[in-house]
């Protein structure tokens, strides 16, 4: 994976997807279908495959986070931001940011105990959100 390159040249369609995500900011999670619908409001002729390719390129450039959470219908996307965890409601499916990072000492210990190197940590929590507990 390449390093973040916010100034990397993007095609007009890739730039559109990047701008849409950034306009909504970190903490807003969009499926590929939701981004496709948003993009079509600005560029009616844009194709679903174009959105897929844009998200893949933006992810590979380190500009967009692709979040895959067990139990969800598919990946969701958000602008790259500070490390955090995600919570998925098992009732309504909403995904929310949780301001938490796994302590470095914990990942170092796990790596050391198991003889491997940890490059990234993706933490997802599952349960019912405040609205569904209601």
Interval 58-90: pLDDT, tens: 999 999 999 998 888 889 999 998 889 999 999
pLDDT in the model for residue 37: 97
Write down the domain spans for the chain.
9-80, 82-134
The answer to whether 69 and 96 are in contact (CB under 8 A) is: no
Name the superfamily (CATH) of residues 82-134. Answer: Ferric-uptake regulator, C-terminal dimerisarion domain (3.30.1490.190)
47 conformational bin, left if phi > 0, alpha if psi -120 to 50, beta if neither: beta
pTM of the full structure: 0.79
Lowest-confidence segment of 5-19, 20-34, 50-64, 106-120 by average pLDDT: 5-19
Distance between CA atoms of residues 1 and 5, nearest Å: 11
pLDDT in the model for residue 4: 43
CATH architecture of 9-80: Orthogonal Bundle (1.10)
């Amino acid at each position: 994976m390449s390093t973040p390159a916010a100034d990397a040249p993007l095609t007009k369609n890739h730039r559109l997807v990047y701008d849409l995500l950034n306009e909504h900011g970190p903490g807003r999670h969009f499926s590929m279908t939701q981004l496709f619908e948003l993009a079509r409001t600005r560029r009616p002729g844009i194709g679903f495959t174009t959105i897929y390719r844009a998200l893949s390129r933006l992810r590979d450039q380190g500009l967009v986070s692709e979040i895959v959470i067990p139990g969800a219908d598919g990946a969701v996307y958000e602008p790259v931001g500070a490390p955090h965890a995600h919570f998925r409601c098992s009732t309504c499916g909403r995904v929310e940011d949780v301001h938490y990072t796994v302590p470095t000492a914990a990942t170092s210990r796990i790596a050391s105990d198991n003889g491997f190197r940890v490059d990234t940590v993706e933490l997802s929590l599952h349960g019912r959100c405040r609205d569904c507990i209601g």
